[in-house]
Structure 1
Amino acid sequence: MPGKEKKEIPTNNVTWEKVLLARHSMRPHALDFMNGLFKDFVELHGDRRFGDDSALVAGVAKFNTRSVIIMGQQKGRDTKENIARNFGSAHAEGYRKALRLFQQAEKFGMPIITFIDTGGAYPGKASEERGVGLAIAENLMELCRVKVPTIAVVTGEGGSGGALAIGIADRLLMLENAIYSVASPEAAATILWKDSAQAPAAAQAMKITAEELKDFGIIDEIVPEPVGGAQTDPPALMVTLAEALEHHLSELEQAFVVKGEAGIQAMLQARYNKYRAIGHWSEVNVLAGARE
């Protein structure tokens, strides 16, 4: 288009390299983590209202000595599997299945561990007809008040409300090469420059890497990956992640179990405050910084 200014793609764009690693087809997916970290995993199906959603896998398992509820978005290794899993983008029934298991976790006193890896909830007509927006909103509300320890791990892509719908937690962890953002770099580039090819520039501007989000106080821990990415040595990653999960679960159990109802209420308030603070800014501070 005449007169349209082109945004140059940054050279040596480490952020874009992480985006590509986060999307690597051989990167461990939800079922890999479920089978590699837990024992006696039993998958549960259906939302009891419409059907099952293979894009979001959930069930009950053992983590060391604990019974836990686990869930995560499942992507495929090839085109056929990705189509079957809807590329990890859940419909409304997937999030309602998650909601059902959140409620079971509280009923039976089981911690919740979620694995986030999605570009976002499925945005198609069928998803809208079945109420995906309401399903996500109900999950956000339930996760803010569920009275059990909750841990979320961003393992690949953490995209938009589809990620947040299983991502409100007492502790938020990210793998070293994962990304977490309100929109995909391609979507952001389309909005900003009307050109999805500028996604690498958008990714760099959006501050979506684990290191950047740790600096912002949005995540609690970065889980190191093997050299070259998680796909190069999944067993080694499982060992590292298991240690991190055990550490955080042990700390959370002190508050939720040992300290009783007072501890539970304090943790729920801290969980709520944690997410209310994300993106908070002060106009006074911004103006003061500009004057400096």
Structure 2
Amino acid sequence: LKEGAVPELALARATTVDETKRMMRRLSKENTKQYGRHLGKITHSNPSVVFDTILSQIQAYDNLIVPVVDMMKYITPLSFDLLTFMLLSHLASPSKTRLKEDGLNVSIWMQSLSSFCGNLYKKYPNIELVGLLQYITNTLKSGMSLQLIVLRDLVTKMAGIDTLEDLSADQLQAQAGGETLRTCVTDLLGLAKNTKRSSSRLKDALLKNGLVAPLILLIAQQRSACVFQGTSQHLKQLGELYDRCQETLEQLKEFLTSTVPPQEYATLLPTVGELCSEYNLEPEVAFFVARPILNHQEGLSTGGDAK
């Protein structure tokens, strides 16, 4: 018992933790409905304790992610808000190491939490999402790019857009086609299933809170900073950080260009000249980010000339 703690509250907390762990030991894909109702009851009185225990279990056993997400259909909106708070508390915990002992790969606990975030926000898109996106933005401002794994999982799960790997020759050739042809590839790979609501929710969270430009600019800046200003001496880790920034930037830009009209996209970002001069982006990155705007302007000028 901690000094100054109230014995009755400590007993209630210990009882709730024990009940939650007992429920998690029995949880499987077949009984999520039964334990989902039970979860709704115990989170009604002690949500922070329950979610703290559940998230700790998920970090150790990633096979619990899907059943846990499925059984959360019965909890209240207030409990979902507490879940978001506990998620941020675990992600931002200063006592945890975010890299494995080899110093190269992301820790298992962080990969599990990231995957849980993606699955959770896809299945329940009405949960408050801005706090998590703002946290990712703030970590990028602090020069940390490891949290980009969370953004990648969010875009992958909620929008069905992922970095494609190990493609066949036909699938690779299809990526050079139009939007419909590229969509066929993602459909075959099973990436874009039931993402309409969650994709719209993610887009609204980014647009309404003005996070599009900050995220794109910070990821692009971190892409260079992780190589030239980073403290790591491991060449492989630098390569991993650089690749993660590049892949996340491509993924986010692909999501925005597929959901936001070009004329609206143009209002969200500075011009190519400003991206290079004021925000110190490399020219190739600035043109990559602004490509949809340039294509739209070129189309307008071509249409005007034709008239």
Provide TM-score, normalisation by structure 1: 0.35
Higher relative contact order, chain-length normalized (CA < 8 Å, sep 6+): 1
Give the helix-richer structure, 1 or 2.
2
Provide TM-score, normalisation by structure 2: 0.33
